Structure 1
Amino acid sequence: MGYRRTFVATLPLVTIAGCLSDSDSGSGVGDGTDETVPDDQHEDGDETDGGTDSNWEDDLERPDETVELSDGIETDETLTSDVLYRVTDQLTVDATVSIEPGTILEFEEGAGLRVRGLQGGQIVATGTPDEPIVFTGTQKTPGWWNGIYVWGSESHDNRLEHVVVEYGGRESDGTVHLRGSRLPITNSTLAHGDGYGLYVDEESSIEGSENNQYSDNEAGGVRLSANSVHSLDAASTYADNGVDAVTVGGEDVEGEDVTWNSLDVPYRLRDRTAVREATLTIEPGTTLEFEEGGEFRVRDGGGLIADGTEDDEIVFTGTQKTPGWWNGIYVWGSDARNNALNHVVVEYGGRESDGNVHVRHGRLPITNATLRHSDRYGLFLDPNSTIPESKANTYTENAAGAVKLDAHTAHYLDSNSTYTGNGEDAVVVDGTDVEHEDVTWSALDVPYRLRGRTQVRDVDLTIEPASTVLFEEGGEFRLRDGSGLIARGTEDEKIVFSATEEIPGWWSGIYVWGSESHDNRLEHVIVEYGGRESNGSVHLRTGRFTITDCTLRHSDAWGLWAESDVAVNDDVCAVNEFSDNGVGDCTIDG
């Protein structure tokens, strides 16, 4: 336990005019004397509760002389390490305050340091590894003093380097709080705060900050806006706080391409974060947690590169492990060629979105990814969207199903991905035209579930052996002019065209109208439960077709109906199997 004694001394030349208490009353600095305190104890005699992580008390020698600061700094001043500064009130800085290495400033209860840029205030605190600058409380209690508040100061001279700031946050959101200001922080410790260690508003910058420690702060290490996240470095530590996450306010990321580094804690995102007119790269090993109702949106001109690795996946998740907790990743109008989700986990989305990942008029390759625990689909793909080269993904435990997309994008799904373990084990395909390029539908581990009419125009569609295509009520598969259908199964891996309900006439069937391709073929195929508004489960109106080794059954009309203008193999009624068809099995010439 220390003790207090008083003696009279001549103050050094650096004593701050107008900043010392009672300076106008003829005592203290006004008459060349001051009460000085060899202060190796803190106010009220309280013992410390462990000090700071920087162990500055072991490194620095406390000066014998104490100077009290209470008013304001209105002219450029330098604080030196040969005295201990005790701040007794809110100290405003309206000029440049430079602080020498090894200087200690102690703040009484409710006191603080406010740098006012509009009045010309700036702070230059440059310590060294052996002589850090210390801002602390007279009592080792989180929130004992307000902290350092920098308001409207955009000076490029501002800096905190080799600094310890601790026990602040009393009437401030952070031990260091920036509002409309610029302040690089390097090699520093912000600790034991009642709020955040560092609070950065949306108009502020900490560009150039690195190698800091944010620990034992009640609300978390750092809170900042999305447009400042790239200023956080991986060499700093953000763990061991009341909330072990960096809190990110929802805002647009725009104006320049940036990278979000992998930290030792997750990013915790609030509200909606949107990437516009910039490319955001997220490093492998990064975790992003979204609060309830949050959303990650990539808009026109924006790009997202989330390229993880097998050992260091990138995770997009919810702060609560509840399906539909947040909206998900929404790519709207972004067709950037470098968009990518690779070795990524996206989970617990689908709140006000149709999928954990929802692509609308955009382009997003997805590889080696896991999309799970959505309240809707794992992946929802709107018309005019693409997921080229997507492969080796896992879609599981999604309430509505693994994937929902349109017929003209179904070819993006690969057989090396898994689509099982969902609320409905099927890939939902909205009926639309398949056109513009020849494509293949891969054999998946779940059926394709088609809604409405799917029509092939001016291209060839190949369906792989072992594929199952289920049609909802009233559905139809139509082959039009200039198109081709190549459905060649094997004896062991048949292709199945069936219904979501095993009821004859549930769907219309396969309707060929004007397709003259010599490649048209059904081989080792089962077609069943069709004939709803068609003359047969397979209805050949005009064109060319070969049908062999197939089973046509459970039609509400004919199994096969071929009109006179169709070129079909002569033995079509003999080399295929027909059963349980409502009107008849096979008829040629209608």
Structure 2
Amino acid sequence: MQLTFSSSPALRGQRTLALTKQIFVFLLSATFLVTGCKKDPEVEPTPTNSLTAAAGPDQNVQVGQVVTLDGSASTDSKGAPLSFQWAITRKPAKSTVSLSSPATAKPTFTPDETGEYELELTVSNANGRSTDKVLVAASVAQPLALTSNITVKTVLNDRVANPDLPDYIVTKSIVLTSELTINPGVVIAFERDTRFDINDGGVIIAKGEAGKKIRFVGVEKNKGYWVGIMVYSGSNANVFEHIDVLHAGSRVMLSGVKASMALFGGGKAQIGLKNSLFSDNDGYGLYVQDGAILREFSSNSFRNNTDAGILLDAANVAKLDAASSFTGGNGRNVVEVFGSAIRKGNVDEIVWTNFTDNSPYRITADLAVSNGWKLNPGVTIEMGRDAAIRISDDAYLSAKGTPTQKITITGATRTPGYWRGLICYTTSTQNVIENAEISYGGSNAIVSGKKTNIAVYGAKATMTIKNTKISGSAGHGIYVGYNCILNNDASTVNTFESNAQANIQIDK
């Protein structure tokens, strides 16, 4: 017998719904089971900045003073290297400054105006960035007045950073009778017609540096505003190095001479001068009186002085070095030598150098030579009106030029008969004139009524002259006295031109 089951449509729907619910519950349970077995994903942490910028403490400085910023205290807690970047975020309205090396920890700048400068430092690396600011306040220090004589050991310091502004102002003339040290960078400004005397017992030590010169200037920057520096002291410690002396020469200081610095001969004043400038003075830059001592002299410059750069005696000329310059726009671009003597001393031969800038010597009056005297190739000597050179017994003149560097002795004005001439009295065989030009002598008779460029005179006086041009004499070219000696070929190995009388006159 076959059994048959049947149901109504309503019953079948209920069964289907129940089955569907069972399946849904099963699937949902399985999903929760699977999901619950999975590991939760990792959550990435938010990066944290490990950098701290430190721009350093605020600073109070002077205008013209170099400011060094310092960000070296900046840190990264993770120890990674830092990159630096500085910027000026605020400065006075007229300032034009900028930073040097702004991408370093310690850049510099120099304030050019009074006021506040705000600077921002940014440090950065892969771990982040950080900023900090520093404030620099710039002001101008006021100069101190020097109103009394210096009678105790004194040191003057560089008080004002700006080299265009004075550290000290001399309001009336002062005298130094003790030791004065002036440190690099000091600027001393002098009021109208004031002067600075370095007296006996006084010692001045003024050593500047190439980048920090010591400057003696006028309160107003005009030629001849203040008198100058007068040195009476004979101390061998007196020294000026890397100094400027400007705007002096307002009044006569010594022997009717105006100069920015003068050395008094009576007390054997002495000074060492190196790497210094004498400029924009009314009168001479430097005056060295006969008897004073230029202990050292090297690499000095003389510019824009109303007269010559330097006036000195013949004995000190040998101290001048070839590197010093005397031709920078002076009233007379010469080394001016007043009438004086080259005397016997500790050396057998005095040498006059040829300057690199080709400055000539100008001898204003008679020069007496009683020592060996050598002129280096290229030397030019200009003789003053009616001046003579006299080579005495036991002395000699060695004037040996070269074909390309001739020695010249001529008139300060190139006209016949302007100066008197050169006369040699000595028997030395070292008397030689070679590769030279001697011209425009014979203004007046130099000996025995004779006008001449060159005279050889006195018992056995001796001179050798070769390869030399002798010209423009108002008398003879060469005059040789009785029983004197001139090389036999003098008439053929030399050149003669435009001499008023005989080229060579020999008394027999």
TM-score by length of 1: 0.57
Q: 1:371 aligns with which of 269, 278, 302?
A: 278
Q: Which residue of structure 1 lines up, in the alignment, with residue 262 of structure 2?
A: 358
Q: Which residue of structure 1 lines up, in the alignment, with residue 47 of structure 2?
A: none
- AA matched with 1:422: N
Q: Which residue of structure 1 lines up, in the alignment, with residue 402 of structure 2?
A: 490
- 1:443: how far off? 1.3
**8 A contact 2:271–2:296 mirrored in 1:** no
Identity %: 25
CA distance in structure 2 between the aligned counterparts of 1:559 and 1:430, rounded to whole angstroms: 26
CA distance in structure 1 between the aligned counterparts of 2:455 and 2:139, rounded to whole angstroms: 67
- 1:389: how far off? 1.9
CA distance in structure 1 between the aligned counterparts of 2:367 and 2:379, rounded to whole angstroms: 16
Tell me whether 1:343 sits opposite 2:343 in the alignment: no
Can you give the 5+ residue segments of structure 2 that lack an aligned partner in the other structure?
1-59, 61-113, 115-136, 161-165
Report the more deviating stretch, 338-347 or 265-274. 265-274
Q: 1:537 aligns with which of 453, 468, 471?
A: 453
- AA matched with 2:405: E
Q: Deviations over 1:204-226 (max 9, x none)?
A: xxxxxxxxxxxx9xxxxxxxxxx
Q: 1:447 aligns with which of 360, 372, 377?
A: 360
CA distance in structure 2 between the aligned counterparts of 1:570 and 1:469, rounded to whole angstroms: 27
CA distance in structure 2 between the aligned counterparts of 1:239 and 1:526, rounded to whole angstroms: 62
Distance 1:247 1:388, change over 3 A: same
CA distance in structure 2 between the aligned counterparts of 1:539 and 1:484, rounded to whole angstroms: 14
- 1:446: how far off? 1.8
SS at match of 1:573: helix
CA distance in structure 1 between the aligned counterparts of 2:361 and 2:249, rounded to whole angstroms: 21
Q: 1:395 aligns with which of 266, 290, 302?
A: 302
SS at match of 1:574: helix
- 1:504: how far off? 1.1
SS at match of 2:299: coil
CA distance in structure 1 between the aligned counterparts of 2:317 and 2:172, rounded to whole angstroms: 32
CA distance in structure 2 between the aligned counterparts of 1:289 and 1:417, rounded to whole angstroms: 26
CA distance in structure 1 between the aligned counterparts of 2:399 and 2:158, rounded to whole angstroms: 47
CA distance in structure 1 between the aligned counterparts of 2:184 and 2:363, rounded to whole angstroms: 37
Q: Which residue of structure 1 lines up, in the alignment, with residue 149 of structure 2?
A: 252
Higher relative contact order (CA 8 A, sep 6+): 2
CA distance in structure 1 between the aligned counterparts of 2:138 and 2:392, rounded to whole angstroms: 61
SS at match of 1:504: coil
- 1:431: how far off? 1.1
Q: Deviations over 1:4-24 (max 9, x none)?
A: xxxxxxxxxxxxxxxxxxxxx
- 1:312: how far off? 1.1
Distance 1:478 1:563, change over 3 A: same
Q: 1:469 aligns with which of 356, 377, 381?
A: 381
- AA matched with 2:156: W
Q: Which residue of structure 1 lines up, in the alignment, with residue 369 of structure 2?
A: 456
- AA matched with 2:395: S
Q: Which residue of structure 1 lines up, in the alignment, with residue 170 of structure 2?
A: 269
Q: Which residue of structure 1 lines up, in the alignment, with residue 438 of structure 2?
A: 527
**RMSD (Å) for aligned C-alpha atoms:** 1.9
CA distance in structure 2 between the aligned counterparts of 1:257 and 1:566, rounded to whole angstroms: 61
Hey, which bits of structure 1, 4+ residues long, moved more than 6 A? none
Q: 1:508 aligns with which of 382, 399, 420?
A: 420
CA distance in structure 1 between the aligned counterparts of 2:304 and 2:167, rounded to whole angstroms: 23
Tell me whether 1:567 sits opposite 2:485 in the alignment: yes
**8 A contact 1:392–1:414 mirrored in 2:** yes
Can you give the 5+ residue segments of structure 1 that lack an aligned partner in the other structure?
1-52, 54-215, 217-236
Q: Deviations over 1:239-280 (max 9, x none)?
A: 636xx321221x2212x432212212521111111111x211
Structure 2 counterparts to residues 103-182 of structure 1, below 5 A: none
Structure 2 counterparts to residues 17-28 of structure 1, below 5 A: none
Distance 1:376 1:498, change over 3 A: same
Larger Rg: 2
CA distance in structure 1 between the aligned counterparts of 2:224 and 2:414, rounded to whole angstroms: 33
Distance 1:570 1:275, change over 3 A: same
Q: Deviations over 1:341-374 (max 9, x none)?
A: 1011000001113211111121011110000001
CA distance in structure 2 between the aligned counterparts of 1:414 and 1:517, rounded to whole angstroms: 28
Q: 1:406 aligns with which of 313, 317, 321?
A: 313
- 1:238: how far off? 12
Q: 2:330 aligns with which of 398, 418, 422?
A: 422
CA distance in structure 2 between the aligned counterparts of 1:366 and 1:466, rounded to whole angstroms: 25
**8 A contact 1:238–1:263 mirrored in 2:** no
CA distance in structure 1 between the aligned counterparts of 2:295 and 2:478, rounded to whole angstroms: 37
CA distance in structure 1 between the aligned counterparts of 2:297 and 2:138, rounded to whole angstroms: 35
- 1:559: how far off? 0.5
Distance 1:323 1:238, change over 3 A: farther
Structure 2 counterparts to residues 85-96 of structure 1, below 5 A: none
